Amino acid sequence: MKFLHLVFSNLMRKKLRTSLTVLSIFIAFMLYGILCTIKESFTAGIDVAGADRLVVRNKITLIQPLPDSYLQKIVALSGVDSAVHFTWFGGIYRDDAALFFPSMPVSDIDTFLDIYPEYKLSDEAKEKWHSTRTGVIVGKQTAERFEWKVGDRIPLHSPIWPRKEDQVWEFDIVGIYEGASAKTDITGFYFRYDYFNEGRERGEGLAGWYTVRVKDPDKAPEVASAIDSEFQNSPYETKAEPEGAFAQAFVQQMGDIGAILMSILSVVFFTILLVTGNTMAQSVRERTQELGVLKSMGFSDGLVLRLVLAESCLIVVVGGFIGIGLAWLMAAGGSPVPDMLPIFYFPTEYVIIGIGLVIALGLAAGIIPAIEARRLRIAVALRRNA
Amino acid sequence: MSTENGSSGNGALVRLSKISKNFRRGSEDIHVLSDLNLEVGKGEFLALMGPSGSGKSTLLNLIGGLDRTTVGTIEVGGEHIEKMSDRALAAWRARHIGFVFQFYNLLPVLSAEKNVELPLLLTNLSSLERKKHVAAALDIVGLSHRANHSPRTLSGGEQQRVGIARAIVTDPTLLLCDEPTGDLDRASGDEILSLMQALNKDQGKTFIMVTHDPHASARAGRTVHLDKGQLSTEAPE
Ligand SMILES: Nc1ncnc2c1ncn2[C@@H]1O[C@H](COP(=O)(O)OP(=O)(O)O)[C@@H](O)[C@H]1O
Ligand SMILES: [Mg+2]
């Protein structure tokens, strides 16, 4: 610690050079933070997916429906604990498609909340959902977005599922659910399937997809193939797969986002390594003689090495921590596009990785100049421009 | 052991025996010092003279453990420094040696007092104790009023006084000065020499000073001349 003043003063030697280096490190780490946040918002659903959940969809495509009568057949299969079905409703609020949030009927609220323990809803709300035909539960984020409260009546229309006689669909909010963690998507709008099924103009008896909870996650692949063979050679063949794979199929359509972000970050960090390494190399070369003087006083080779490393770590720590900190603040400020990226936060594990990267970068950028400084022969260093 | 250089025999603080030092330049060996002996007594003020390139700095560096002999032994205060590891030698320098350079070699990014404090960072002294030692050293060289100044804002003579304060702040056994007045005008140089003389007389500090200025060597208690790798008491013709 007593050497901190010396380390810091050396960085103040060329203020402009130090500032520019800190600035580029700062930008790199802020970019890191923002890209991690974006990556997380694209892939959060995959991590969240319970290992005990299977998604069963129409074998042809995701948008082809399945009969709602499959529910009893699926639940009857051995290895299946419970099942629930959803149908993509595509509800539009105030005739403005830009005000998007996911809306869908669900076969049963209790089973749904059982299978998705990450959604938190009061018992009172569950009861009201059962007693209210038009009842709907809404995620906290969407409720706050439109300033909805329990008891509000929400009119929606759906281009996919028009209501009989051109009526508008109307829903009564019976509860607002919250997420168990920041990763939980709390933008959903879930209402009763019976209300939906009887009210729709066409497609009666058809649901979108099923989510199945298996009794033993280790047996999930066997249960999945049992489901698929159950409906083989029927007009509606199924494809059952683990929920993670299902969510990932969504993400895959947007390209392998993780890989793209990683390659951007690698290039950025490599550039920063060169910039910082160059700053340190210059700074050490400029003061060859001073390093010789320190050694003549009895500063050991090892101490000189550590001082140079401390200097390069300090420069990266200052830029890196400000960058990570600012990215964190930005993420905490909420998503700039809540309808596109509802889950928006800078995950703690990426903050920790970022801090690790800061230290690694500081050491990597400083190690060559530090070794050079350690090896410096005093007599030679002192002769320089003397 | 030879005492031909008029040293104080058994009381010698520094004893060089049969020292040789070669440098490699390309494919040839340059013999800078050959089979050289020297003893310096405790409390002596020795001037080391000789033409440019004769090896004065090289000799001083060897005594201070900044470089290693090709052949021969160096004993300082009873310790054989040629046997020490690099690490041990660094620790030994911190305890026993104070260097003063021709071009002061202060760190431009540190104030005068922070420069003087540098060698104390290697000790176990607390921050408060370090401050006291620094203040005392700056007081001895008469620069207390410049403690917070950056070296850039000091004159050459003042910078060299900071350099001396830095060399004495750890109370070393031996002070090694390489042309300490070489970059100063006559008046400032005289001030520095007087300061060194006072430290030698009043505080009993041992000095070895390289110079090629007869004016400077006149202040020393004894002068030896280095020429063609050997020492003599007489100036070469
Ligand atoms: N590290 C070194 N490598 C090669 N030659 C050196 C080195 N240090 C000193 N020399 C040579 O040794 C000789 C003596 O140098 P030096 O001790 O600096 O002389 P002085 O201080 O008397 O002017 C010179 O010829 C110099 O070029
Ligand atoms: Mg010299």
**A22-55: pLDDT as tens digits:** 999 999 999 999 998 888 877 766 555 567 889 9
Torsion of CA A278, A281, A282, A287, to 10 degrees: 160
What CA–CA distance (Å, rounded) separates B79 from B58? Answer: 20
**CA distances (Å), A176 to each of A33, A84, A150, A226, A325, in order?**
31, 20, 7, 36, 32
- Judge whether B110 and B103 are in contact, CB under 8 Å: no
The answer to whether the CB atoms of A12 and B110 lie below 8 A apart is no
In which band, very low, low, confident or very high, does the pLDDT at B9 lie, cut at 50, 70 and 90?
A: very low
Q: Which ligand 1 atom is nearest residue B24's CA? A: 4
Residue type (1 letter), A277: G
Q: Which atom of ligand 1 is nearest to the CA of B210?
A: 21
Which residue in this structure is represented by tokens 């090892």?
A: A302
Q: Which residues contact A200 (CB under 8 A, 6 or more apart)?
A: A161, A162, A163, A164
Q: Coil, strand, or helix at residue B121? A: helix
Q: For residues A362 and A316, is the Cβ–Cβ distance under 8 A? A: yes
**Domain segments of chain A as ranges:** 4-45+255-383, 48-254
The per-residue pLDDT for A125 is 94
Question: Which ligand 1 atom is the nearest neighbour of the CA of B61?
Answer: 17
Of B89, B28, B87, B29, residue with least CA distance to B62: B89
Sheet with B97-100, side-by-side order of all strands: B97-100, B174-178, B206-210, B45-49, B222-227, B230-232
Domain segments of chain B as ranges:
2-232
B77 forms beta bridges with none
pLDDT digits (tens, 9 = 90+) for A170-209: 999 999 999 988 878 899 999 999 999 999 999 999 999 9
Report how far ligand 2's centroid is from the alpha carbon of B210 (Å).
8
Tell me the ipTM for this assembly: 0.94
Residue with tokens 């580029």: A24
Measured in Å, residue B61 CA sits from the centre of ligand 2 at: 10
Q: Is the distance from the beta carbon of residue B23 to the nearest atom of ligand 1 less than 6 Å?
A: yes
A3 touches chain B (CB under 8 A): yes
What pLDDT is stored for residue A48 in this prediction?
52
Strand order in the sheet with B71-76: B28-41, B12-25, B71-76, B79-80
Tell me if chain B has a CB within 8 Å of the CB of A298.
yes
**C-alpha span between A353 and A39 (Å, rounded):** 14
Cβ neighbours, 10 Å, residue A133: 13
- Burial environment of residue A215 by CB neighbours within 10 A (0 to 12, 13 to 18, 19 or more): middle
Give per-residue pLDDT as tens, A339-382: 677 778 888 999 999 999 999 999 999 999 999 999 999 999 99
- Identity of the residue in B92, B97, B105 whose CB atom sits nearest the CB atom of A293: B105
Q: pLDDT higher for A281 or A335?
A: A281
Residue A145 token pair? 């977005």
Q: Which of A280, A267, A286 is nearest to A365 (CA)?
A: A280
Confidence of residue B3 (pLDDT cuts 50, 70, 90): very low
CA–CA separation, A214 vs A53, rounded Å?
Answer: 6
pLDDT in tens, A102-159: 999 999 999 999 999 889 999 999 999 999 999 999 999 999 999 999 999 999 999 9
Class of domain B2-232: alpha beta
Q: Specify the pTM.
A: 0.73
* H or E element in which residue A210 lies: strand A209-214
Per-residue model confidence as pLDDT tens digits over A255-300? 567 788 888 999 999 999 999 999 999 999 999 999 999 999 999 9
Give the dihedral of Cα atoms B177, B183, B187, B191; nearest 10 deg.
-20
Please tell me the distance in Å from B91's CA to the nearest CA on chain A: 6
Query: How many angstroms does the Cα of residue A7 sit away from the middle of ligand 2?
Result: 30
